[in-house]
Structure 1
Amino acid sequence: MLKLVALAICGSLLSSIPAVAAGEEPVDVELVIAVDVSWSMDYGELDIQRNGYVAAFRSPELQQAITDGMHGRVAVTYVEWAGDTSQQVVLPWTLIDGKDAAEAFAYRLSEARPDRMRRTSISSAIDFAAGLFDRNGFEGMRRVIDVSGDGPNNQGRPVTDARDAAVARGITINGLPLMTQGDDLRGGWGSIRNLDRYYSDCVVGGPGSFVIPVNDWEQFPQAVRRKLVLELAGLWPIPAKPRAVVPIAADGPPANCLVGEAQWQERWQR
């Protein structure tokens, strides 16, 4: 019975995969890792964040998840972002098809020094990441944007507009909210309470989307590895009725998706 269910899932996936254009490499997943490097994090925290991704790609668990896929290979690019005009491709699209390629990706990432930039525009990060899928030389069964950040959107267009546009293109957005600073550390505008709820209600979207919150920097390496394994595994749970947004909890009021913009405006009116 389980075998029949697995075959049915595979058939469903295969029927939804677009034909591979000439010159495009078929992969299981096209993944954009979009990492927040705004001024709300110090250089030590940026190093922890970068090293967490390095360690993840060096882990046998992640390498096994990649090779266990239908094609046994994925395409990954690593982007750092902050304000609405601050996005930088740290590592371009890279084919990872095993241990050696994953180790090489991790090494190149470890050699690049993270830099800090001003403001927080999750919407611009999503728009930028979505554009990277165009003519990248790969054709994946899934396209995923992996967003991590420590605060709400406070610049650029509303984050829900960017999310909805990406989801309409068949892109899934997953979130890693960094809840390591507490509330109101910058006069009531730098951080928000329940950032995980904000990410769930306002940022993530698409079939199978999920949020993994980080409450302490010591949790970060494990959280990153877990999230990447879920994203890069060959098959992942497909809900019976895919939803544009998967809330993190049913209780409590929905998040204010414009809270960051309101905080920034209030700050400059003081």
Structure 2
Amino acid sequence: MRHFILALLLAAPVSAQEIETDLELVLLADASGSIDADELLFQRQSYATAITDPAVVSAIENTLYGSIAVTYVEWAATQATVVDWTLIADMESATAFAEALIGPPRQASGRNAIGAALLYGKDQIESNDINGFRRVIDFSGDTMANSFGPPITVARDQVVAAGITINALPILRNTQWQTDDLPAAYEVNIIGGPNAFVMPARSGPEFTDAVRRKLILEIAGTTPQSDYASLLLQTLQISQ
């Protein structure tokens, strides 16, 4: 019943009272030309699997407000929202988000516009009716190419200046960006804000596991390097 009431509040018009929650989280997923249809679906399935993991749901339920707000956005030359803001407070609302994520067709395509994607994530946070205790953009991608829009670091600085943290999940594969270079490039150019971190992963099961661990840390508001993170992940039985 609680999540149903919260969902009704989330659907209320702009003039309604703001919804209070622990975290506003933009899942900003790569849908550029280097991501084929199978990989796009796999990314969505990975996030759907992660958001419905009992450990992730438990972490949400144990936040200060007992809920988080999440939206899923795909980025490429343009950006598009796949699943709009959803308040997740329990397994039922997490499952509803996961099911909504799998159905829609590809929403973005073309070359890369990382800077524009970061600013789109910022706009999604600033234009909703939600007041999150923390605000985070969860960026994933397999490149540092930025063919269109503002420079990456300029966009990153604008996002961070607005009080939004950017975390990054570099997808490691055989591209012009070698596997050792991409995490370092994301560290320097993309992440920023309190407790920002990079969590690299290869495609396949490692990617799904990294998404799950990343969500746990973002919900808890900590980093992979902290002692609390190690304890948290061990307690929740998630391998690092």
Q: Is the structural similarity TM-score above 0.5?
A: yes
Q: Give me the TM-score of the superposition, normalised by structure 2.
A: 0.82
Superposed, 1:171-250 pairs within 5 Å as 171-180=164-173, 182-184=174-176, 191-193=177-179, 194-233=181-220, 235-236=221-222
CA gap 1:116/1:25 in 2 versus in 1, 3 angstroms = closer
Structure 1 residue ranges without an equivalent (≥5): 1-20, 185-190, 240-270
Structure 2 residue ranges without an equivalent (≥5): 1-14, 226-240
Tell me which residue corresponds to 2:134. Answer: 142
Which residue of 129, 145, 165 corresponds with 2:121?
A: 129
Residue-pair matches, total:
210
Which residue of 85, 88, 94 corresponds with 1:102?
A: 94
CA contact (8 A) 2:31 2:75 kept: yes
| d(CA) in 1 for partners of 2:54, 2:145 | 35
Larger Cα Rg: Structure 1 or Structure 2? 1
The letter for the 2-side match of 1:236 is: T
CA contact (8 A) 1:90 1:112 kept: yes
- The more displaced of 148-157 and 118-127 is 148-157
CA contact (8 A) 1:123 1:157 kept: yes
The CA RMSD over aligned residues, in Å, is 2.1
Tell me which residue corresponds to 1:55. Answer: 49
Report SS of the residue matched to 1:117: coil
Per-residue deviation at 1:133? 1.4
| d(CA) in 2 for partners of 1:217, 1:87 | 24
Superposed, 1:3-22 pairs within 5 Å as none
Percent identity between the two aligned chains: 41
Q: Give me the TM-score of the superposition, normalised by structure 1.
A: 0.73
Per-residue deviation at 1:63? 0.4
What does the per-residue CA deviation read over 1:4-44, in whole Å, with 9 as the maximum and x for residues that have no partner?
xxxxxxxxxxxxxxxxx971111000001110101112111
| d(CA) in 2 for partners of 1:133, 1:98 | 22
Per-residue deviation at 1:110? 1.6
